[in-house]
Homo-oligomer: A and B are copies of this chain.
Amino acid sequence: MIGALLRQPIDAVYRRMLDRLHDAGFTDVVAAHFAVLRYPGPAGRRPSELAEDAGMSNQAMNYLLGQLERLDYVTRVEDPTDRRSKRVQLTKRGVAAAKTIRSTVARIEAELEQQLGTKEFRELQRLLVQLNETRFVRGGADRGVRGPPRHGGSVSSSGGKRDR
């Protein structure tokens, strides 16, 4: 059941973050954008670094950056030391959104601390950190679950049969 135990809280976290962003006026942010906006944020790094971090291809990251740039959350400026590279920075609007995210995390944690009790909450945090340091989690930390099929053939399209 370890799967469900982890999945349900993380879903709740993302749902809350998205709601708060929307309520704060950032109505054009979607869940996928978290790959860029979440801690530690772009902070002048290159698109390929962000892609690596998010466990996705450069192209996918670039697609997100294209959206976020058009929506005025980030800018891509050329790297003076390497003319192939770009550096991604949060815009003013991007910084404001990131601040909303951070404050939402703080609020969630405060809420959990209140509901679990301070002692239990801190213990949970400590154990989660430990869990993340295990070889199980660390090992093969690249490429998310939704990677390329790479195994069996695809299953083609469209639901069940119609035989009435």
Contacts and interface: CB of A to CB of B under 8 A. Distances in A.
A15 interface: yes
13 contacts: A2-B109, A3-B10, A3-B14, A5-B132, A7-B10, A16-B136, A31-B145, A63-B158, A66-B159, A111-B134, A115-B134, A123-B123, A124-B124
B8 A132 contact: yes
A80 interface: no
Given A5-B128, A6-B128, 16 more contacts: A2-B109, A3-B14, A3-B17, A7-B10, A8-B141, A9-B131, A11-B145, A15-B143, A15-B144, A30-B155, A62-B159, A70-B155, A76-B160, A112-B134, A124-B124, A124-B128
A18 interface: yes
Interface string A122-138: 01110111111011110
The 4 closest A-B pairs by CB, nearest first: A27-B152, A28-B152, A66-B159, A14-B145
Interface of A: 1-18, 22, 27-31, 34, 38-39, 55, 59, 62-63, 65-67, 69-71, 76, 105, 108-109, 111-112, 115-116, 120, 123-125, 127-132, 134-137, 139-141, 143-146, 149, 151-153, 155, 158-161
